[in-house]
Chains A and B, each alone.
Chain A
Amino acid sequence: MVAVVVVLAGGLLLSVAAAVTVGPADLSLGTVWLVITNHLGLTSADVPLLRDHIVWELRLPRVLGAAVVGAGLAASGAVMQTVTRNPLADPYLLGVSSGASLGAVAVLVLGLGAGAAALTGGAFAGALAAFAVVVAAAGRQAVLRPTRVVLAGVAVAQLCAALTSFVIIWAADPHATQSITFWLSGSLARADWAALGWAAPVLAAVFAVILWFARALNAFAFGEEAAAALGVAVGRVRWLLLVTTALLTAVLVAISGAIGFVGLLLPHAARRFTGPDHRRLLPIVVLAGAIFLIWVDTAARTLFEPRELPVGVLTALLGVPAFVLLLRRRDGNA
C-alpha cells in the first residue's frame, strides 16, 4: 500500500515535469527543471526569458491546475458515491456545476465585472448558491434521506441550465455564448497561479477531512442504518462530507468548468485495484485523478494543434466507452 502510494506520487511528479515539456515550443526536461528551481530560489541558471515565461506562467500552472482539479474531482466522486450509496453519483450531482455556469454567464451578461477574476467569482458564487438551494429544497428530512438531496440536486441543475439558456438567448451576446461552452465542457486554459493559490489549500483541507472519515465511510457499505448501528453518527458525517465536497467542487468548477466523467469513473477504476476500503482507495484515487487529468489535458491541448479541444470533450470521449464497459461488467457480476 505505502509502496503503491510512493510509486504514484513519483509518477505524479514525473507527469507534471513531463507534461510541461509537451507543446508547440520544444522544451527539455532539463530546462523545465532549471526554471522551477530558479523560481524556487535554488538555482540561478541562465534561461531565455521566453522559455522561462512559457514554463512558469503558461504551462506549469496549467499542468498543476489539471492535477488539482483531477485529484479533487476523483476524491469528491468517491465520497459522493459512498455517502449517497449510488454508484452513478459524481461531484456535480448536487447542482454545483450548473450553478457555476449560470453564475459565470450572469456576471458576463449583467456586466457585473470584467476579467477572469470576476468570472471565477461569479462561477463560485453560482455554485454555492445552487448548493444552498438544493439543501433548502431537500428540507429537514434530508438528513434521513439522501435520495431527496439527490433529487433536489437534479431539479436545481435543470433549473440552472434553463436559466442559463434563457440568459444567453435574452442577452444575444456572443461572449456569453462562447463563455457557456467553456463552463459546460470544461477547460484548464484559465488555470493560473492565483487560482491555484486558493484551490490547492482547499483541496488539501477537504482531503484531510475526507481521510479522517475513511473508516466511517467504510461503514456505509451495508447502508446508513447499518453504519449508524456500527457507531457512526450518520447524519453528521454525511452532511459534513457533502458540504465539504460541494465546497471543493465549487472551487474546482470555478477554475475549470464542469469536466465530466473524472469524478464518476476514476473512483470505479481505482476500486478495481484497491478494493472498497476507503483507507486504501482515497490516497490512490486522488493521485490517479491528478495523473489522469494531467495527461488528458495535455492531449486536449496538443492533439489537434493549433486548435485546442475542451478537456471535458476528451474525458467524455474516453469516459463514455470506459463507463459502458464498466456497466457491462457489473451486469456480468450480478
Chain B
Amino acid sequence: MLDIRDVSWSVPAARLLDRVTCSVPRGTLVGLLGPNGSGKTTLLRVVAGLIAPGSGTVTVAGDDVARLPRAAAARRMALLAQYAETDLDLTALDVVLLGRTPHRRSRWSDSDTDRAAAADALERVDMTGYAHRKWQTLSGGERQRLQLARALAQEPQLLLLDEPTNHLDIGHQLQLLHLVRRSGVTTLAALHDLNLAAMFCDLVVVLHHGRVVASGPPVGVLTPALLADVYAVDADVTVHNGHTVITYRTPAA
C-alpha cells in the first residue's frame, strides 16, 4: 500500500532523513518508532505530501505522492496529529465534516454522501450521540477520537498517525489505538510508548538519526540490545500472551 524508497530530507544544518526505505502492507498497522528527533514526524510529513522529499520516492497504492494534486492526496491519506486545537466554536459534526473537504462535490452544501460518511465515521469511533456537542466541551480523549472520526470521514486508504496518544491517559490511549485497529484502515503510526506499539502493531520500523535501524514484527525487533542502542535505556524484554512486554530499569548512576 505504502512504499517509501530511499527518502532523504535535509535542512541546512542536518540530514533529518537519510535514505529511509520501508513499506506498509495493505491492512496492517505499522508502528514508526524512535527517540525524539529521530525523524518520525518528518517522515510522516513527507509521506502525507506536506513536504517534498529531497530525494527518493513515496508511493501510495502505486502513485507517487509528490505528483498527486493536494486534494487527491487527501482522499488517499488522512493525518491525525498529536494535538488539535481551535478557537472556533465548532460542533463535533462540523469537525467530522471537515474530513469531507477533499471530496467536495458542491462548494455550498454538504451532500447526503458527506452526511452519511460523517455519521458513519462518528459511529466507528463510538461517538454517535456526540454530533451536536461543542468541540470546546470535549475532553482530550474525546477530541482525539473525534479527530480520528474526521480522518475516517476522509475515506482514506492510508491513515497516518503522529503520536496521537501523547496527551492521553492510558485508558484513552488503549481506546484510540483499539479504534484505529478496528477501523481496518492501513495505518502508519508514529508512537512513543513501546509497549503500546508491541500490543497493537503488526510491524514496527525503528528510526535513529534519520535512518532505519530495524524493522519487522515487534517480537523480533524490540530487543534489549536495540533499546540500549537506540533509546539508551536498560530494559528487560519478556513475552506475555504472545505480546512483547518491556520493563525498564532505573538508569545506572
Task: Please determine whether B136 and A229 come into contact, CB atoms closer than 8 angstroms.
Answer: no
Contacts of A20 in B (CB 8 A): none
Q: What residues of B have a CB within 8 angstroms of the CB of A228 in the complex? A: 50, 70
In the complex, are the beta carbons of A222 and B73 less than 8 A apart? no
Q: Are B104 and A232 in contact (CB under 8 A)?
A: no
Contacts of B71 in A (CB 8 A): 231-232
CB distance from A293 to the nearest CB of B (A): 25
Residue on A nearest B75 in the bound complex, by CB: A231
Whether A57 is near chain B, meaning CB under 8 Å from some CB there, is no
- Contact, CB under 8 Å: A222 / B48: no
Cβ of B79 under 8 Å from chain A: yes
Is A13 interfacial (CB 8 A cutoff)? no
A215 surroundings in chain B (CB, below 8 A)? 101, 104, 107
Cβ 8 A contact of A277, one of B48, B79, B94, B154: B94
* B61-98 with Cβ < 8 A to chain A: 70-75, 77-79, 81, 84-91, 94-95, 98
Q: Residue of A at shortest CB range from B79?
A: A229
Q: A219-B98, A277-B94, A279-B108 are in contact. Are A231 and B73 (CB under 8 A)?
A: yes
B89 A276 Cβ-Cβ under 8 A? yes
Are A225 and B81 touching (Cβ within 8 A)? yes
Residue of chain B at shortest CB distance from A224: B50
The size of the chain B interface, using a CB distance under 8 A, is: 31
Q: Tell me whether B164 is interfacial, beta carbon within 8 Å.
A: no
Which of A230, A232, A275 gathers the greatest number of chain B CB atoms within 10 Å? A230
Contact B88 A231 (CB under 8 A): no
Interface residue? A239 (CB, 8 A): no
Give CA–CA (A86, B21) in the complex, Å: 40
- If A218-B101, A276-B89 touch, does A229 touch B94 (CB 8 Å cutoff)? no
Which residues of chain A are near B78, meaning CB under 8 Å? Answer: 229
List residues of chain A with CB within 8 A of the CB of B86: 221-222
Shortest Cβ distance from residue B10 to the other chain A in the assembled complex, whole angstroms: 16
Choose one: A212, A225, A226; the contact of B107 (CB below 8 Å): A212
The answer to the question of A271 belonging to the interface, with a C-beta cut-off of 8 Å to chain B, is yes
Smallest CB gap from A330: residue in B:
B87
A232 touches B70 (CB 8 A): yes
Interface residues on A, range: 20 to 34
Nearest chain B CB to A139 CB, angstrom units = 15
Verify B88–A219 contact, CB threshold 8 A: no
Q: Does B39 contact A (CB under 8 A)?
A: no
CB-based contact B101/A231 at 8 Å: yes
Q: Does B184 contact A (CB under 8 A)?
A: no
Q: Which of A87, A215, A222, A232 has the most CB of B within 10 A?
A: A222
A214's partner among B48, B87, B107 (CB-CB below 8 A) is B107
Does A172 have its Cβ within 8 Å of any Cβ on chain B? no
**Could you tell me if B89 and A218 are in contact, using CB atoms closer than 8 angstroms?**
no
Q: Once the chains are docked, how many angstroms separate the CA of A215 from the CA of B95?
A: 13
In whole angstroms, how far apart are the Cα atoms of A224 and B166 in the complex? 21
Residues in A whose Cβ lies below 8 Å from that of B218: none
Task: Choose among A226, A275, A276, A279 the residue that contacts B81 (Cβ–Cβ < 8 A).
Answer: A226
Query: At the interface, yes or no: B102 with Cβ under 8 Å from chain A?
Result: yes
Which residue from A212, A214, A333 sits with its C-beta under 8 Å from B136?
Answer: A333
CA distance A213 to B104 in the complex (A): 12
- Decide if A233 is an interface residue (CB 8 Å cutoff): yes
A230:B74 contact, CB within 8 angstroms: yes
B99 interface residue (CB < 8 Å to A): yes
Q: How far is the CB of A237 from chain B (nearest CB, A)?
A: 10
- A229 cross-chain contacts in B, Cβ below 8 A: 48, 50, 74, 77-79
A-B pairs with lowest CB-CB distance, top 5 = A231-B74, A231-B102, A231-B71, A276-B88, A229-B79
Name 17 extra pairs, CB < 8 A, besides A215-B101, A275-B91, A277-B94: A216-B101, A218-B98, A218-B101, A219-B101, A222-B81, A222-B85, A222-B86, A228-B70, A229-B48, A229-B74, A229-B78, A230-B98, A230-B99, A231-B71, A231-B74, A233-B70, A279-B107
Could you name 7 residue pairs across A and B whose Cβ atoms are closer than 8 Å?
A87-B87, A218-B98, A219-B98, A230-B99, A231-B75, A275-B90, A276-B94
Seen from chain A, the residues whose Cβ lies within 8 Å of a Cβ on chain B are: 87, 212, 214-216, 218-219, 221-223, 225-226, 228-233, 271, 275-277, 279, 333
